[in-house]
Chains A and B, each alone.
Chain A
Amino acid sequence: DAGVIQSPRHEVTEMGQEVTLRCKPISGHNSLFWYRQTMMRGLELLIYFNNNVPIDDSGMPEDRFSAKMPNASFSTLKIQPSEPRDSAVYFCASSPGLATDTQYFGPGTRLTVL
């Protein structure tokens, strides 16, 4: 079975541009998570969906960040406008049930904002 799929794997953009990260969770998984990882802050949960509904977005840093899950097989994380401090690795993960079931991580998107 395919694991969690993320695209693009690498993204380099200039400050002020819009960035869209994409994720396809494992088929049949009910929960999807977006994380951000930096050396300074470690792995942080940004937002968590269950059955396509946002459950917890308390980790979304500010209004420049938004996430959607229009169906069970696709989610996007958008940053508009992007800033250099958004540079990080963004992981998408999915789990069969709730947030505390085993989470399966995608390969990540390395974002660099110049």
Chain B
Amino acid sequence: QKEVEQNSGPLSVPEGAIASLNCTYSDRVSQSFFWYRQYSGKSPELIMSIYSNGDKEDGRFTAQLNKASQYVSLLIRDSQPSDSATYLCAVKINGWTQGGSEKLVFGKGTKLTVNP
């Protein structure tokens, strides 16, 4: 099982709808979770972080975390065409046992298209 998995999409929603993006992870002890947005041809930028079970809201964005199910999601309310991008889920993992370090592992991303 890959460390961080996302549906690649594409996910297409009409303008004004709620877009729901999902992510699962394999490391049960992970404590920090992030959502990055990447526009086509651009670099990723952080939009949300979440550390505790439950919901965290920031404007039109809501991150949801369920550690028991190893599941994190991002909801975008009132979707706009400007939200069209690829959304990357990132999870902090402990890589020390593999000769690495604590670091972020990214999913491959879900491409979202919001249609006017």
* Pairing of A with B: yes
Q: A residues within 8 Å of B by Cβ?
A: 41-45, 48, 55-56, 58-59, 91, 98-100, 102-103, 105-108
What size tier do the contact residues of chain B reach?
A: 20 to 34
Interface residues in B39-55 (C-beta closer than 8 Å to A): 42-46, 49
| Contact A42 B103, beta carbon cutoff 8 Å | no
Q: B residues within 8 Å of A by Cβ?
A: 32, 42-46, 49, 88, 92, 95, 98-109
Give complex CA distance A100, B30 in Å.
12
Give complex CA distance A48, B105 in Å.
13
Given A42-B108, A43-B88, A56-B95; A48-B43 close (CB under 8 Å): no
Interchain CB contact (< 8 A) of A58 among B32, B98, B108? B98
Given A42-B108, A43-B106, A55-B101; A100-B92 close (CB under 8 Å): yes
For the A-B complex with A48-B103, A103-B104 known, give 20 more contacts whose Cβ atoms are closer than 8 Å. Answer: A41-B108, A42-B106, A42-B108, A43-B109, A45-B103, A48-B101, A55-B101, A56-B95, A56-B100, A56-B103, A58-B100, A59-B100, A98-B102, A99-B92, A99-B101, A100-B32, A105-B43, A106-B43, A107-B42, A107-B43
Contacts of A102 in B (CB 8 A): 46, 49
| Contact A56 B43, beta carbon cutoff 8 Å | no
Give complex CA distance A56, B102 in Å.
9
Contacts of B106 in A (CB 8 A): 42-44
Given A56-B95, A105-B43, A105-B44; A100-B104 close (CB under 8 Å): yes
B22 to nearest A CB, angstroms? 16
Given A107-B43, A108-B43; A45-B108 close (CB under 8 Å): no
Contacts of A42 in B (CB 8 A): 88, 106-109
Contacts of A91 in B (CB 8 A): 43-44
